Amino acid sequence: MIAIDTNVLVRYLVADDAAQAALARELIEEGLSDEAPGFISLAVLCELAWALGYTYKQSRADIARTIGAFAEVGQLQLEEPEIVRRALAAGNADIADALIHEVGKANGCAKTVTFDKRFAQMSGVELLAS
């Protein structure tokens, strides 16, 4: 198994650099397998969601579909796939925020606190205010 950095996934998905996109495509489609998968960490998923949303202006729904598709591909292994699935099920939430909350819950946290009003709308997340 090898770890895959965010920029490899971005090149694979958006192909904004032809040479790097070809290398990423070759690695993911031909160099990885169910027996020797590529590993995608939660940190990479957060960076990927940010890059696709901020730089490439993809919608949250499109980003969630992309990450969800990674969970179904045998040659890719997500860190904590059940946590990722629960975060994706959070609807239109920011993927990174949903992952923060779900990782906390999985580690025994009763709630998540934030100053982010939008994030605080998620069930189990509380706005930290005076």
Alpha carbons 85 and 26: distance in angstroms, whole number: 27
For residue 38, the cross-strand partners are 2, 76
pLDDT tens for 56-69 read 999 999 999 999 99
Architecture field, domain 2-127: 3-Layer(aba) Sandwich (3.40)
Please state the φ and ψ torsions of residue 87, each to the nearest 5 degrees.
-65, -40
Contact 39, 3 (CB under 8 A): yes
Q: Using 50, 70 and 90 to split pLDDT, how confident is the model at 49? A: very high
Q: What is the pTM of this model?
A: 0.90
Q: Confidence band (pLDDT; 50, 70, 90) for 79?
A: very high
pLDDT band at 90 (very low <50, low <70, confident <90, very high): confident
Instruction: Classify the C-alpha dihedral 107-46-84-73 as positive or negative.
Output: negative
Please say whether the beta carbons of 105 and 97 come within 8 A.
no
pLDDT of residue 91: 76
Structural domain boundaries of the chain? Answer: 2-127
The predicted structure's pLDDT at residue 92: 74
